[in-house]
């Protein structure tokens, strides 16, 4: 079962906006679209999101890790 996050994470890369709604979407985004500046928070987000997608950790934990990595990478859309 896919667990949708309570709040979306909005990202902006090269004037394109992306909306991430779940740990599965986060994993796909981390693999395919993440910028080259991959920090330790990227690795943490990838692991936690994979674990959440597999039902091992709560989806809220995955969302928080993903948002923190996006903020550190400078791609979190500030509204």
What's the CA angle centered on 78, arms 74 and 79, to 5 degrees?
165
Query: What is the pLDDT at residue 79?
Result: 65
Enter the pTM of the model. Answer: 0.93
pLDDT at 78: 79
Q: Give the per-residue pLDDT at 77.
A: 92
Cα→Cα distances 76→2, 7, 54, 55, Å = 23, 14, 25, 25
Mean pLDDT by 10 residues, the chain (79 residues): 87 94 97 91 97 94 97 90
- Specify whether the backbone of 14 is left (phi greater than 0), alpha (psi in -120 to 50) or beta: left
Give me 54's structure tokens: 């597999």
Q: What pLDDT score was predicted for residue 72?
A: 95
35 within 8 A of 76, measured Cβ to Cβ: no
What pLDDT, on a 0 to 100 scale, did the predictor assign at position 46?
97
């Amino acid at each position: 079962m896919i667990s949708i996050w309570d709040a979306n994470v909005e990202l902006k890369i090269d004037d394109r906006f992306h909306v991430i709604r779940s740990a599965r979407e986060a994993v796909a985004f981390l693999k395919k679209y993440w910028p080259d500046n991959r920090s330790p928070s990227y690795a943490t987000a990838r692991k936690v999101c994979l674990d959440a997608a597999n039902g091992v950790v709560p989806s809220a934990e995955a969302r928080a890790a993903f948002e923190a990595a996006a903020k550190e990478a400078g791609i979190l859309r500030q509204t």
